[in-house]
Amino acid sequence: MTEPQQISVMIAEDHPLYLKGLRNLVTSDPDLRVIGETDNGDTIVAAALDLQPDLILMDLQLPGQSGIVATREIMRALPNTRILVITLFADDDSVFSALRAGARGYILKDAEEQEILLAIRAVANGDSLFSPSIANRVLSFFASPRPAAPDIYPTLTERERDILHLLTRGKANMQIAHELHLSPKTIANNLTSIYSKLQVADRQEAISQARKAGMNE
C-alpha cells in the first residue's frame, strides 16, 4: 500500500529565530515537509512559482513587497496553493486585506505552538482556521447587514475624509500617519471606523467606493 504523499510547505519569514521555530514545528509533523524558505517579499512569488508548494506560511511584513500583495499574486498564478498568514498584526485592515487576497487562515505569532500546528494542518488539508480573536471578528463582520451607502461623505469625520483621500492616492498607513502628523495606531483606528461606515471589508474596497463617489486623486 502506497503511503500518503507529504504536504509541501514553503515559509516566508524574515526573523531568523521565528523562521527556525516554524521550520522545526513543520518538520515535527511527518505529513509535512519544508521545500523552501524566503525572507523577502520581492522573491517569494518567483520562489512559489518555481517550487509550487501545497502550502505557504506567510508573514505580512516582509522586506520589499508586502505579504498581502505577494498573497494576491500567488493566488492568481497558483490557485491551488493554500496560504496561511502567520503575523503579529491583528488590525482589521491586515486581516480583511489578507483574506481578500486569498489567504485561507490567519494566526497570530504569539499563539501556542500546538495552535499554530493545528492551523497549519487545517489549512494544508483545505480547511480555514483563524486565531480565536480573528475568527470572532470575521464572523461578526459577515453576520452584520451591509446595506449600500449612497453617499459616503456625510458619515465621515474630517479626519476620516483626509485619511480616505490619502488612501485613494495609494498612500500606506505609515505615510498617512507622517503626512497627517498622527500615530500609526490612530490611523489604524480611523481606518476601522471608515470601513465600518462605508460597509467595506478592506482598503481596496474603500478606495474603489471613494473613487466612484467622486473622491479622486
- Using CA atoms, how far residue 58 sits from 23, 32, 102, 212, in Å, is 13, 16, 12, 32
What are the percentages of helix, strand and coil residues in the chain, rounded to 5?
A: 50, 15, 35
148 or 101: which leads in pLDDT? 101
pLDDT at 158: 81
**pLDDT above 50: residue 207:** yes
pLDDT at 148: 47
Residue percentage of the chain with pLDDT more than 70? 91
pLDDT at 77: 92
Sole residue written with cell 512569488: 45
pLDDT at 1: 46
Read off the pLDDT of residues 100-142 as tens digits, 9 standing for 90 and up: 889 999 999 999 999 999 999 999 988 988 888 888 877 777 6
Band of pLDDT at residue 191, cut at 50, 70 and 90: very high
3-class DSSP assignment, residue 108 = strand
Residues 6+ apart with CB under 8 A from 92: 137, 188, 191, 192, 195, 202
Does 7-142 carry CATH code 3.30.465.10?
Answer: no
pLDDT at 90: 85
Read off the pLDDT of residues 36-68 as tens digits, 9 standing for 90 and up: 999 988 899 999 999 999 999 999 988 888 888
pLDDT at 123: 94
Q: What is the pTM of this model?
A: 0.66
pLDDT at 66: 85
Helices 158-168 and 184-198: crossing angle in degrees, nearest 10, is 90
Least confident of 71-80, 94-103, 117-126, 140-149: 140-149
Band of pLDDT at residue 144, cut at 50, 70 and 90: low
3-class DSSP assignment, residue 10 = strand
Domain ranges for the chain: 7-142, 158-212
Please check whether the two domains, 7-142 and 158-212, share a CATH topology. Answer: no
pLDDT at 3: 55
117 or 214: which leads in pLDDT? 117
Q: Which fold has domain 158-212?
A: Arc Repressor Mutant, subunit A (1.10.10)
C-alpha span between 159 and 155 (Å, rounded): 12
